[in-house]
């Protein structure tokens, strides 16, 4: 009866999340339990922030026919979002990390809540940008070593457009693999904390710990393989670690301005797809928050069982991995669109500013007649056609 209750509950939450929880086949419906992580006092997802390049914002500018696509400037949360959304509730894992290189248009902005000293998870409601940035913070237990590099560094020495595209794809693949490994480490720690409410020697908990140890070993090997792929493409002997999280804000494709005089079926399809992926990413971030809230409720129940806790943790892990995989695909689609939109011989710096926030410039102008909004850590495009822009991370 208890198993049937939890199965029905998990199914309802899965449907309400609007996500295909099997976004990564490795975490499909038949995957082993993947528990939720225990909070730490260092950040929502523990560990120390990676090196952040000094970053302002790319510029926003008045649309012209030749203007490249870019992360949307002055982006605001949807009109239906409550004003309180700009101030997230206390972080589930303690203090938030410091500034990061990539801050998206719909970011809720950094927050610095007090550390969680209650010994259990707290509910959270983070936007996609902040959620992704914190997932990319390495836990102290990480065995993944390497040299931190930005996306710009990864593509700077590429001699051809195809070589740049391969490196960008490898960079986002590395981000996904690293996030998977980091999440596994945090979830291992979470299980160790949350099992304290279950009778010692519980077989289900013991099996979950064994499966998690095996999965961690696999995810570490996958992350190293992704490091070696990017290192090989860059022709460097050391292993890279990404300092730029995937872009998770809204993106201005500017299809009519760029492709109005020429035909590109693929670009037209990407123009339709990219905003849908962006909306899906926001939905996925919200689903992570709902799954965390549900896990908190289950863990606080006096009658909680090992099966109930593990099923809630599995739902949390599936939602987290779905979010990471959607972000990976979103950035790949943006990269392909930017490749189609950019002319031959485009400078690496210009290409990167079409993908993520870059540390350029001193001025801002409006986009499509819209005045730029006050800085909320939002990216704005730095155009070679109009003066560079400023902005800053708050």
> Which 3-state string (H, E, C) describes 360-393?
CCCCCCCECCECCCCCCCCCCCCCCCCCCCCCCC
Per-residue pLDDT at 394 = 22
3-state SS class at 309: helix
Domain assignments of the chain as residue spans, ordered by start? 19-53+87-353
Report how far residue 6's alpha carbon sits from residue 33's, in angstroms, rounded to the nearest whole number: 14
What's the pLDDT score for residue 167? 98
* pLDDT in 10s for each residue of the chain, 394 residues: 444 444 444 443 343 333 333 334 443 333 333 333 433 434 556 555 444 333 333 333 323 345 667 776 434 333 333 333 333 333 333 333 333 333 233 333 322 222 333 334 444 568 999 999 999 999 999 999 999 999 999 999 999 999 999 999 999 999 999 999 999 999 998 888 888 778 788 899 899 999 999 999 999 999 999 999 999 999 999 999 999 999 999 999 999 999 988 889 999 999 999 999 999 999 999 999 999 888 888 888 766 688 888 999 999 999 999 999 999 999 999 999 999 998 888 888 899 999 996 665 322 222 222 223 222 233 322 222 222 222 222 2
pLDDT score, position 274? 98
Alpha-helical segments (H) within 195-249? 203-234
Give residues with Cβ within 8 angstroms of 83, minimum separation 6: none
From residue 363, give the alpha-carbon distance in Å to each of 121, 244, 356, 390.
Answer: 42, 23, 18, 5
* Rounded alpha-carbon distances, angstroms, from residue 340 to 70, 243, 271, 348: 13, 26, 11, 15
Structural contact between residues 182 and 137, judged by C-beta atoms closer than 8 angstroms: yes
Reference 174, options 233, 228, 137, 102; nearest CA is 228
Cα→Cα distances 192→21, 75, 119, 394, Å: 25, 40, 11, 35
pTM: 0.68
Per-residue pLDDT at 191? 85
| Mean of all residue pLDDT scores within the chain | 70
Phi/psi-derived region of residue 109, left when phi > 0, alpha when psi is between -120 and 50, beta in every other case? left
Q: What whole-number distance in Å separates Cα of residue 124 and Cα of residue 349?
A: 36
């Amino acid at each position: 009866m208890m198993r049937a209750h939890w199965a029905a509950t998990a199914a309802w939450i899965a449907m309400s999340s609007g996500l295909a929880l099997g976004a990564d086949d490795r975490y499909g419906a038949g995957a082993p339990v993947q528990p939720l992580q225990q909070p730490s006092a260092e950040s929502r997802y523990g560990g120390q922030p990676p090196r952040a390049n000094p970053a302002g914002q790319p510029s926003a500018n008045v649309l012209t026919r030749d203007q490249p696509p870019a992360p949307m400037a002055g982006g605001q949360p949807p009109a239906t979002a409550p004003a309180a959304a700009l101030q997230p509730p206390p972080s589930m894992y303690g203090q938030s990390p410091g500034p990061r290189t990539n801050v998206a248009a719909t970011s809720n902005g950094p927050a610095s809540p007090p550390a969680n000293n209650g010994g259990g998870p707290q509910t959270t409601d983070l936007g996609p940008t902040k959620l992704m940035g914190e997932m990319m913070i390495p836990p102290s237990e990480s065995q993944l070593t390497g040299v931190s590099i930005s996306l710009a560094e990864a593509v700077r020495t590429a001699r051809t457009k195809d070589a740049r595209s391969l490196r960008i794809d490898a960079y986002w693949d590395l981000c996904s693999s690293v996030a998977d490994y980091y999440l596994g480490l945090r979830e291992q720690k979470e299980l160790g904390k949350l099992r304290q409410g279950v009778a010692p020697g519980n077989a289900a908990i013991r099996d979950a710990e064994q499966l998690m140890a095996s999965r961690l070993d696999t995810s570490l090997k996958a992350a190293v393989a992704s490091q070696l792929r990017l290192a090989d493409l860059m022709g460097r002997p050391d292993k890279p670690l990404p300092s730029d999280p995937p872009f998770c804000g809204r993106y201005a494709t500017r299809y009519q301005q760029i492709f109005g005089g020429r035909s590109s079926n693929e670009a037209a399809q990407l123009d339709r797809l990219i905003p849908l992926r962006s909306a899906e990413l926001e939905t996925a971030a919200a689903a992570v928050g709902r799954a965390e809230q549900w896990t908190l409720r289950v863990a606080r129940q006096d009658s909680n069982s090992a099966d109930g806790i593990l099923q809630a943790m599995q739902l949390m892990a599936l939602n987290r991995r779905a979010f990471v995989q959607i972000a990976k695909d979103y950035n790949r689609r943006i990269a392909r669109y930017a490749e189609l939109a950019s002319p031959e011989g485009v400078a690496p710096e210009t290409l990167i500013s079409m993908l993520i926030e870059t540390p350029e410039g001193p001025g801002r102008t409006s986009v499509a007649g819209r005045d730029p909004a006050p800085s909320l850590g939002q990216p704005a495009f730095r155009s070679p056609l109009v003066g560079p822009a400023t902005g800053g991370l708050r």
